[in-house]
Structure 1
Amino acid sequence: MESNAIIQKLNRLETLIIGTSKQIFTVDDVVNYTGFSKSYVYKLVHNNILPYSKPNNRTLFFTKTEIDEWLMKNKSKSISQIEQEAVSYTNSTKK
């Protein structure tokens, strides 16, 4: 039982290492890269939320850079970043 778990973890690591070096992803690659379920990826595609390409009207492809950009949308700022922006804004508006 333990050896099966180790083998599964090693296979997952291998998939992640190989997958992150690719620039073009399939649905399975996106699932492995993001940790999202396959059904959730298809839901995002269906709702045109996740950028994709479908050149042969059958297979979905994604670019790693677009996936990364999409994942980092709506980024939340830390309190220290907000404070720094407030100080910069206050300093720039004082005359």
Structure 2
Amino acid sequence: MENETIIQKLNRIERFIFGLKEILNVEELSDYTGFTKSYIYKLVHTSQIPSSKPGGKVLFFERKKIDLWLLQNSSKSNSEITEEASLYVRSKK
């Protein structure tokens, strides 16, 4: 059982290293985001995720675009909202 744990950890390290690549395929994107491959294909099919398909065969993803896509629609923290409100009130005086 301990060997399995070590192998799983090594696999996670290997996937992390793949996550440092600039261009990812579907399997690498799955490892990078934690999304299942079928969910990634669904996102591509519905044009919800930035992707490239040169030659019409294999899907590729630019990691920088994926990072931006993952961080869209973020929520502001209470402290950020309070700071914005304070700046707004100060600017109206």
TM-score bracket, normalised by the shorter chain, equals: over 0.9
2:52 matched to 1:65? no
Which structure 1 residue ranges, 4+ long, deviate > 3 Å from structure 2? none
Deviation at 1:62, TM superposition (A): 0.4
Q: Which residue of 2 aligns with 1:80?
A: 79
Gaps of 5+ in 1: none
Q: Which residue of 1 aligns with 2:7?
A: 7
Matched to 1:90, the amino acid is: V
Deviation at 1:20, TM superposition (A): 2.3
Deviation at 1:21, TM superposition (A): 2.1
Deviation at 1:13, TM superposition (A): 1.2
Q: Deviations over 1:12-48 (max 9, x none)?
A: 211212x122100100111000001111111100100
Mapped partners of 1:41, 1:65: distance in 2: 16
Deviation at 1:5, TM superposition (A): 2.6
Q: Deviations over 1:62-88 (max 9, x none)?
A: 000000000000010000000000000
Name the % identity: 52
Please, what TM-score do these two structures have when normalized by structure 1? Answer: 0.92
Number of aligned residue pairs: give it: 93
Matched to 2:24, the amino acid is: F
Mapped partners of 1:14, 1:32: distance in 2: 10
Secondary structure in 1 matching 2:54: coil
Bigger CA drift: 62-71 or 1-10?
1-10
